[in-house]
Amino acid sequence: MSIVVVGSIGYDTVETTHGGVTDALGGSASFFALAARFFAPVSIVAAVGTDFRAEDWQLFRERSIDVRGMVQLDGPTFRWHGRYHEDMNIRDTVSLALNVFEGFKPDLLPDQKRADYVFLSNISPELQAHVLAQVASPRVVVADTMNHWIVNDRKELMRLLLKVNILTLNDEEARLLSGESNLVRAGRAILKMGPATVLVKRGEYGVLKFGQDSMFAVPAWPLEEVVDPTGAGDTFAGALMGWIARIGRLNESILRTGIVYGSVLASFAVEQFSVARLAALTWEDVEERYRAFIEMTDSHHSRWMSP
């Protein structure tokens, strides 16, 4: 089953305590697609400029990512410059230039309009709604958001949430959207806004999943060193949606497995700058860490059961 993702593709300049990169491939759609492609076909909807590099087109195509919905427009590609603190949960945006992405309102291709699975990445609720309105009958719609839209475009965001199956956001955003300081109360309050499932990403502390009659929590994969956390959330969403699309249906068990796969892929993404680790990743790498993750979290795993 195919997935359509609408989001940014751009070039990131990133500074962390481990060094930095300049004009490295980034953007929400890039991280999402490079994770989702392990599980299901994925088609990108995005705008890039005339400066978008040939090797980056090739990177997507070599990994069977559909780039027909990537429109190349006159002007420079989206740029973001971020600087992380020693506590990598905190970062400063040094500069942001939307460039050709500003005002981008795509017309989906005929087959994209028939997509079963749609991911609306962290872009304006107006653009998210514009894309979603073109999809005939999606089976699962997942959306992401951020503080800026919660504060400055709340009315549009609230309308969108009525059409979303799963909402992903971080703990700070969950508190801001709900007005609740406690994350359990926050998750339950957001459920009342429309989504059937709310996934609260907590960085190194893992993910909290809230449903109408269930709650699920998984830790993050423990890493000795996080090099660059940029794109971890989009990577998580890509693997989650990829797994759901691969199975072709959605229930509690499938969703929980998807959350674990999302956590696994995100743990790889942060090991190197930009998309470098995701680009080099193999399915064998993914499965090995997935099995190790299950062993780490399952108190009744067969390896530890008494004979």
pLDDT at 88: 82
CA distance 273 to 276: 6
pLDDT at 301: 61
List the structure tokens of 176: 């801001």
What's the pTM?
0.95
Residues 286 and 36 sit within 8 Å (Cβ to Cβ): no
CA distance 195 to 155: 16
Backbone dihedral region of 99: left (phi > 0), alpha (psi from -120 to 50 degrees) or beta?
A: left
Cα 150 to Cα 42, 109, 224, 257: the distances in Å are: 28, 30, 33, 29
pLDDT at 209: 97
pLDDT tens digit sequence for 77-125: 999 999 999 888 788 899 999 999 998 999 999 999 999 999 999 999 9
Instruction: Evaluate whether the domain defined by 3-301 bears CATH number 3.40.1190.20.
Output: yes
pLDDT at 302: 64
pLDDT < 70 regions, the chain: 1, 299-307
Picking from 83, 84, 37, 88, the residue whose alpha carbon sits closest to that of residue 59 is 37
Q: Which amino acid is at 165?
A: N
Q: Where are the domains of the chain?
A: 3-301
User: Under DSSP, is residue 97 helix (H, G, I), strand (E, B) or coil?
Assistant: strand
